[in-house]
Amino acid sequence: MKKLVIAAGTGFLGEVLVNHFKDKFEEIIILTRGKSRTVDRIKYVNWNARTFTGWQKELENATVLINLAGKSVDCLYTKENKKEILWSRIESTKILNKAVLNCKNPPKHWLNSSTATIYRFSLDKQMDEIDGEIGNDFSINVALSWEKAFFKTETPNTLKTALRTSIVLGKNGGALIPLKTLAKIGFGGKQGKGNQFVSWIHEEDFANAVDFIIEKEIIGIINVVSPEPIRNVDFMQKLRKAVGFPFGIPLNKFFLEIGAFFIRTETELVLKSRNVVPKRLLDNGFEFKFGDIDKAFKYLTN
């Protein structure tokens, strides 16, 4: 493949994708708010994700465009932060739509971030792309607006795929780092009631799934999650075992609320039951390397 462009590709997921694709593309361009530079054959180009400043020409002749832009949801949901969470996703997606339409030779395939949080809180039903039930709260409405901004502009010469991604577990980044820390200091018990489902995916499977979607030219909505959601109480028990800590003090909602305030985040990130499965990936023949949480933890905690 010739050219990969990753918008907002300097974070955890961007690094996972760059490591995976660095030998598969002749050229990799990262659109970043940082300075333009070239490091180890990776070209970094400054953009503000809202206006054309010259970065748009990098989309010409791209094989693949991946958009990861959006303010992290790991923050307190103040009025200002909620506005930025929404508009950082909408505006970056809209300006990329304009850029793609303006290209003489636009990207062949555009994969845009979305989130598995788009489905309702579920303790009963597994949510797939066909029968999954959409809920109604701030995070869900952000996801709906995000996907609408992506799909409503038709790009006749560019395939489009929305990646409804769950928590990505990585060795050097993502949600697993603070969870491992909690487990190692004795606070690795269940969080809240503990019956809520955790939808997750190993970083290597995430990158392989993106590669698979590109290769198979799968379009539309894709759940990028492992095939086995796991209840929080079991997730934390298996994590304690993996890090070698014998017990874990449970954290009820009250203590989670206090802790979340001090570390400036929201309890929704651990209390919502995300019971999501990757029907379309499996139906298309994708094979997970780390579909089992014990295997994933063994690899990620050693």
Over residues 215-249, the pLDDT tens digits come to: 999 999 999 999 999 999 999 999 999 999 999 99
pLDDT band for 32, please (50, 70, 90 cuts): very high
Separation of alpha carbons 176 and 191, rounded Å: 15
Quote the pTM value. Answer: 0.96
Q: Using the predicted structure, report yes or no on whether residue 261 has a pLDDT greater than 80.
A: no
Q: What's the pLDDT score for residue 140?
A: 97
Letter for the amino acid at 248? G
Q: What's the pLDDT score for residue 264?
A: 76
Q: Is the dihedral of CA 195, 197, 202, 205 positive or negative?
A: positive
Mean pLDDT of 25-39: 97
Mean pLDDT of 188-194: 95
Q: Which residues contact 47 (CB under 8 A, 6 or more apart)?
A: 7, 31, 32, 33, 53, 55
pLDDT band for 255, please (50, 70, 90 cuts): confident
CB 266 within 8 A of CB 75: yes
Q: Using the predicted structure, report yes or no on whether residue 265 has a pLDDT greater than 80.
A: no
Q: Using the predicted structure, report yes or no on whether residue 263 has a pLDDT greater than 80.
A: no
Separation of alpha carbons 225 and 236, rounded Å: 18
CB 192 within 8 A of CB 256: yes
What token pair was written down for 255? 């203590």
Q: What's the pLDDT score for residue 94?
A: 98
Separation of alpha carbons 32 and 44, rounded Å: 7
Q: Using the predicted structure, report yes or no on whether residue 260 has a pLDDT greater than 80.
A: no
Q: Using the predicted structure, report yes or no on whether residue 258 has a pLDDT greater than 70.
A: yes
DSSP code at position 121: P
What is the CA 210 to chain-centroid distance, rounded?
11
**pLDDT tens, residue by residue, 193-208:** 999 999 999 999 999 9
Q: What's the pLDDT score for residue 256?
A: 86
Q: What's the pLDDT score for residue 216?
A: 98
When the pLDDT of each residue in the chain is averaged and rounded to a whole number, the result is 95
